[in-house]
Chains A and B, each alone.
Chain A
Amino acid sequence: MSAEQAAAPRRHGGLLGHDALVRLTRAGVVLLLFAIWQVYGAFFADKDFVSPPSAVAVALFTHIFSDGAVMRAVGLTLVEVALAFTASMIVGVGLGVLIGWNTGARRMALPVVLLLYAIPQVVMLPLVILAFGIGPVAKIFFGFSHGVFPVIINVVAGMRNVNPLLLAGARSMGASRLEIARHVMFPHMVPSLFAGLRLAMTVTLIGVILAELYVSMAGIGYYTQVFAQTFDPAPLFALIAVLAAIAIVLNELVRLAERRVTRWRRVGM
């Protein structure tokens, strides 16, 4: 991933550094894909189904940003994701620490967590809507129920396998149990926690958007239905683009936080 690549030694192959060349090529690939889409959408595609990026960009302003109701639906989704993710994080870390604290608790609880995690939660979606209604509560819950498992599992995993010499070292220096938890166990767990949080953000987004799309009477689900029926798909493309952009930004925020907190891990030679 990009983090490892950034740490990799620079190899000078010519005028550009190796990393810069890789990044430029990557940007080129993305631009090329957009260009193909533009040419295909503008000249070859059935206009009822595919809009070129230029038309999507226009629709962003004519149908999305200018429409207060659509923007409110997008904003509500963002709030739902934020709340669901926060809840996943708090509950996930809490339960993860409880489960990971001692071997007995882990042996009892982890198999259950893994069993639940393996269930395709999507089959419960109609049940969740039935139980919590078509409002934000159901969507937040569904995002949370997706996000909490990766956090728990990664916190439990992160609390294991602390180098026993580090623990012995801390004890020999007179560290109390609390100090060991704060200065040894917790920092050791953080990289794994963030791996969990990254995954949690991805699946929280999936959960919330699934529930949003399922409820077609309001919110984003409603607008995707409306836009799909107009024989001009540009607004639908635009709405999806806005949501995808939000997803990218949210994922990037988690990674930014991770990079700040786990700086010590990436400095190795």
Chain B
Amino acid sequence: MGATSGFAARSVQIAFVAIVIGVWWGVTKTHAVMPLFLPPVGLVARTIDQLFSTGEAWAAVRLTLLTIVEAYALAVVAGLLAGYFVTRSRFLTEVFEPLIANLFTIPIILFFPLFVLFFGIGPGSKIAYGALYGFFPVALNTIAGFSRVERRFLWAARSMGASPFGLFRHVLVPSALPVIVTGLRISFLICLASVLGGEELSAAAGIGKNIELAAELMDPARMYSWIVFVVLTTTVLNLVLSQIEGRVRER
């Protein structure tokens, strides 16, 4: 939607964040909310600083990041391959596209207990869960991307004597890419959320586990520190990814 970018929209968002922090500061200053539910801003900021300066946080960040990257890599490879091969025939596309789209509407989180059963509470279960979830947007957008390649371009290229690879490189990929990159971005955000969620439900370590543990130990400063950290990083990541996506799409 057009309103996501642009200076005005960005200003509104920054103003909103400033207001949220202001209100947060205000209600904790006046003790309007129990510190258990909302610790003071200053305390959370100090805790974040402490977590990272003592190096305590880095092990969790490293583990979670690695898990996300592994899950994402699997999702992307599987999604691109599946999407490409399904679109080699119109018939296969008609058979598989609705099937994959319908599976995507089932809450995949349901299968997480099975992944824990199969792969244990280590990163494996999170990788499997994240990869499965992240597979769908890549596959669906790859299918959509390759299916929308217009026949007249294929005919034109073939009439000019393009080889199969030339066709792939100069016609199929350029026209499918704008749709595919959107799938890649959505898939990454899904992988990220899935891994964090999986870690909260069942894990030995990682960012999600740390949030869950802090909640269990009634340590709101720590819990909020992690939440703020994740929200900030994902917002920045999302911004960067949207920029990249925009670049690819407008070519």
Contacts and interface: CB of A to CB of B under 8 A. Distances in A.
A binds B: yes
Interface of A: 1-2, 5, 22, 25-26, 29-30, 49, 106-108, 110-112, 114-115, 118-127, 129-131, 153, 157, 198, 201-202, 205-206, 209-210, 213-214, 224, 228, 233, 236-237, 240, 243-244, 247-248, 251
Interface in B96-131: 96-99, 101-102, 104-107, 109-114, 116-118
A123 B189 CA distance: 13
Nearest to A153: B1
13 contacts: A26-B98, A118-B235, A123-B211, A124-B227, A126-B200, A130-B36, A131-B37, A202-B105, A213-B109, A236-B114, A236-B117, A244-B107, A248-B106
A31 to B, nearest CB: 12
Interface residues of B, number: 57
Nearest to A120: B193
Nearest to B238: A118
A56 B238 CA distance: 41
Contact of A123 (B96, B110, B227): B227
B63 to A, nearest CB: 16
A25 B215 CA distance: 49
Given A110-B3, A123-B226, A127-B215, A214 B201 contact: yes
Contacts of B224: 127
Interface of B: 1, 3-4, 8-10, 12-13, 16-17, 36-37, 91, 94-99, 101-102, 104-107, 109-114, 116-118, 189, 192-193, 196-197, 200-201, 208, 211-212, 214-216, 220, 223-224, 226-227, 230-231, 234-235, 238
B234 A237 contact: no
A108 B107 contact: no
Contacts of A107: 3, 8-9, 12
B3 A106 contact: yes
Most A CB within 10 A of own CB, among B3, B102, B110: B110
A239 B107 CA distance: 14
A243 B118 CA distance: 20
Nearest to A5: B94
Contacts of A112: 12-13, 16
Contacts of A123: 196, 200, 208, 211, 226-227, 230-231
Contacts of B201: 210, 213-214
A114 B109 contact: no
A108 B10 CA distance: 10
Contacts of A210: 109, 197, 201
B95 A247 contact: no
A120 to B, nearest CB: 4
Given A49-B118, A213-B201, A236 B94 contact: no
A120 B196 contact: yes
Nearest to A240: B110
B33 to A, nearest CB: 10
Contacts of B220: 130
A218 to B, nearest CB: 15
A198 B95 contact: no
B231 A119 contact: yes
Contact of B95 (A29, A110, A121, A240): A29
Contact of A247 (B8, B110, B112): B110
Contact of A26 (B95, B111, B216, B226): B95
Contact of B109 (A30, A198, A209, A236): A209
B227 A209 contact: no
Given A120-B230, A240-B113, A125 B200 contact: yes
A129 B37 CA distance: 11
Contacts of B235: 115, 118-119
Contacts of B117: 49, 228, 233, 236
Nearest to A201: B105
Given A107-B9, A127-B215, A247-B105, 14 more contacts: A1-B97, A22-B91, A25-B91, A25-B95, A26-B96, A29-B95, A29-B96, A118-B238, A122-B193, A124-B227, A125-B197, A206-B109, A213-B113, A248-B106
